[in-house]
Amino acid sequence: MNLLSCARDHKAAQIGRLRSTSQSWKRFTCGRFSVSGLRVMGLAMGLISAGHAVGAAAGAFLGGYLFDISLRYDWVWTSSVVLSGLAGFIVSLLGVRRAPLPAAA
């Protein structure tokens, strides 16, 4: 199950096309994909997409600049590996908040 099907199924559940047991299951499983829930998923995905676009543009520009300075790709590869390791470290510091489990009936 991916995020798009989660959002679509959640919207269908709000409209009333799914049974109540299916609604609670979707809320439980979809809540695991998003740290802040389905309410702000669109904003979160938009910010992630915008950040990725800015990073991709900056990476291409700075990679070309480093190549123009040194006429070698060594610094480009080294800086990309270091920045990727730094990004992975920052992500590992993020805490994951789990959605509370639905109460047993």
Q: Is the pTM of this model over 0.75?
A: no
Residue 92, both tokens: 């590992």
Q: What would the pLDDT profile of 56-82 be if each residue is shown by its tens digit?
A: 999 999 999 999 999 999 999 999 999
Give backbone dihedrals phi and psi of 33, rounded to 5 degrees, phi first: -85, -20
Q: What would the pLDDT profile of 14-55 be if each residue is shown by its tens digit?
A: 555 444 444 454 554 555 555 566 778 888 889 999 999 999
Burial of 26 (0-12, 13-18, 19+ CB in 10 A): buried
- Other C-beta atoms closer than 10 Å to the C-beta of 84 total 10
25 Ramachandran zone, left/alpha/beta (phi>0; psi -120 to 50): alpha
What is the per-residue pLDDT for 64?
A: 95
Q: DSSP E strands: which ranges in 35-91?
A: none
Q: What would the pLDDT profile of 92-102 be if each residue is shown by its tens digit?
A: 998 776 667 77
